[in-house]
Amino acid sequence: MKRAAVYARVSTVDQHPETQIHDLRQFANQRGLQVIETYTDHGVSGTKARRPALDKMMEDARRGRFDVVLVWAFDRMARSVRHFLEVLDELNHLNIEFVSFRENIDTGGPLGRALIVIIGAISELERAGIVERIRAGIRRAKLEGRQIGRARLDVDREQVVQDRRSGLSLTASARKHGISRASVCRIAKQSALTPSLPCGEQLSVGPWEQN
């Protein structure tokens, strides 16, 4: 019976790898493989270079701990096509098979190895295309004068300063103008009409206006 290692990865901490692991263990049983270790990277983006569980799995692969690596999808494995091919090449030199559950690809044969290279390249091109479309959309929006990101608040800065000079508290000023206390403080400090005061200090404040 061949020994198998299961590798799973989820991109965010609120995602769960149990589905991947369940499918892979069931697949191993169907193939007559003995799962000896499960390696899981939690909250690791596909572009991150550092993957502790993957690194540990590769260390164990060099020690000859297993004969097959099972992943739910091959894009779970590496951060780029180049990295993916490097991992496959090392596994190949170690005589360790790579099996992808979703793509139903097994590198035990030459056709499987060829398909992995082709599909990996297509996936990277697709991701690059998505990024370029996003950038093109941003460039177009800028050329058309559209707002990118959160709209800038239209605040009557002079009125904010006047309110502070009249003794209105930070909290009351912020509530009146729909901005944060820090914004009120910053506007007041930047105004030449208002003396420089600590954010918590007030001008002519009554007991009902305490912060």
pLDDT digits (tens, 9 = 90+) for 170-206: 888 888 888 888 888 888 887 754 455 556 544 443 4
Residue 25 has phi, psi (to 5 degrees) of -70, -40
Asked if residue 154 lies in contact with residue 186, where contact means CB atoms within 8 angstroms, the answer is: no
Angstrom CA distances, 134 to 40, 47, 79, 151, 208, stand at 31, 17, 20, 19, 51
pLDDT digits (tens, 9 = 90+) for 89-125: 788 889 999 999 988 888 877 777 777 677 667 767 7
Active site residues: 11
Indicate the class that CATH gives domain 3-125.
alpha beta
Q: Which residues lie below 8 Å from residue 44, measured CB to CB, with a gap of 6+?
A: 9, 10, 11, 50, 51
Query: Which segments of the chain belong to CATH 3.40.50.1390?
Result: 3-125
Q: pTM of the prediction?
A: 0.53
Q: Is 25 exposed, middle or buried (0-12, 13-18, 19+ CB in 10 A)?
A: middle
**At residue 210, does pLDDT exceed 70?**
no
**What confidence tier does 149 reach under pLDDT thresholds 50, 70, 90?**
low
